[in-house]
A = this chain, B = another copy of it.
Amino acid sequence: MDFAPSERSQALAERLTRFMREEVGPAESVFAASLTGSPDHQVWRQPAIMETLKAKARGAGLWNLFLPDAEHGAGLSNAEYAPLAEIMGHSFIAPEVFNCSAPDTGNMEVLHRYGSDEQKTRWLKPLLAGEIRSAFGMTEPDVASSDATNMQATARIDGDQVVLNGRKWWTTGAGHPHCRFVIFMGVSNPDAQPYQRHTMVICPLDTPGVKIERMLPVFHHYDEPSGHGELSFTDVRVPIGNIILGPGRGFEIAQGRLGPGRVHHCMRAIGAAERALSLLCKRAASRVAFGKPLAELGGNADIIANLRMVIDQARLLTLKTAWTLDTLGTKAALSLISQIKVVVPNVAQQAAEAAIQIHGAAGLSDDFPLTQLFAYARVLRIADGPDEVHRGVVAKLEAKAQASKDFF
Contacts and interface: CB of A to CB of B under 8 A. Distances in A.
A281 interface: yes
Given A290-B147, A343-B313, A407-B90, A218 B364 contact: yes
Interface string A255-283: 00000000000000000000101100110
A130 B336 CA distance: 41
Interface stretch (A45-53, A67-75, A393-401): A393-401
**Chain A interface: which size bin?**
35 or more
A25 B343 contact: no
B408 A381 contact: no
Nearest to A320: B3
A122 interface: no
A207 interface: no
B391 A360 contact: no
A242 interface: no
Given A278-B405, A382-B357, A391 B323 contact: no
A98 interface: no
Given A3-B323, A408-B20, A361 B379 contact: yes
A371 interface: yes
Contacts of A295: 395, 399
A298 B302 contact: yes
Given A278-B402, A305-B395, 10 more contacts: A91-B408, A144-B360, A145-B360, A145-B361, A147-B290, A228-B361, A281-B399, A302-B388, A304-B395, A356-B378
A350 to B, nearest CB: 12
Given A3-B324, A305-B392, A402-B278, A386 B407 contact: no
A400 B72 CA distance: 41
A301 B298 contact: yes
A152 B374 CA distance: 31
A154 interface: no
Contacts of A319: 1, 3
A332 to B, nearest CB: 12
Contacts of A366: 216-217, 220
22 contacts: A144-B289, A144-B294, A147-B290, A150-B288, A150-B289, A218-B364, A218-B371, A219-B221, A228-B361, A275-B408, A282-B402, A295-B395, A295-B399, A298-B298, A298-B388, A305-B390, A305-B398, A309-B317, A309-B342, A313-B313, A313-B316, A316-B316
